[in-house]
Amino acid sequence: MNKSKLMYGSLGLLSLLSLVGIFTDQKIFLCFFAFIIHFQYLFKETDEMMEAYMNKSAMISFYANSISFVLAMFISLFVLNHELYKSLIFSLALSWSISILVYTILILNYEIREKIGIKND
């Protein structure tokens, strides 16, 4: 198994956090079931195009994470007047969620475009 398959497929391990939602009262952890879809990359044949759009999606989601963290921290501290630790927790959670959402939407977009392109050949 090559390195890129293992790297992309290992995101599926985050779905194990959903077990916390099953065995405790913290049902918000059930959202981590969405990461189970990343196990498909362990069995998918990788090529240069796939690696390129995975890297591009990761880059854009990193920028979305950084920008949303700064904005959320600024709004939480100065507009909502929260304490520092509450602002930090809120900003980290929000920016991480936004980056995962952006990454997932971009991957979905690239995969749909790739499948449509294959059908038109």
pLDDT digits (tens, 9 = 90+) for 32-47: 887 887 788 778 777 7
- How many structural domains compose the chain? 2
pLDDT value for 119: 59
pLDDT value for 33: 81
pLDDT value for 121: 47
Q: What residues have CB less than 8 Å from 56, skipping those under 6 apart?
A: 106, 110
Same-domain check for residues 54 and 110: yes
pLDDT value for 4: 67
pTM of the full structure: 0.76
Final residue of a domain: which of 28, 44, 60? Answer: 44
Q: What residues have CB less than 8 Å from 50, skipping those under 6 apart?
A: 44
Same-domain check for residues 10 and 67: no
pLDDT value for 74: 93
Range of the domain at 28: 1-44
Helix, strand, coil content of the chain in percent (nearest 5): 90, 0, 10
Same-domain check for residues 81 and 104: yes
Mean pLDDT in each 10-residue stretch from start to end of the chain (121 residues)? Answer: 70 82 83 80 78 88 95 91 89 90 89 76 47
Same-domain check for residues 58 and 104: yes
Asked if 77 and 90 touch (Cβ cutoff 8 Å), the reply is no
Same-domain check for residues 24 and 56: no
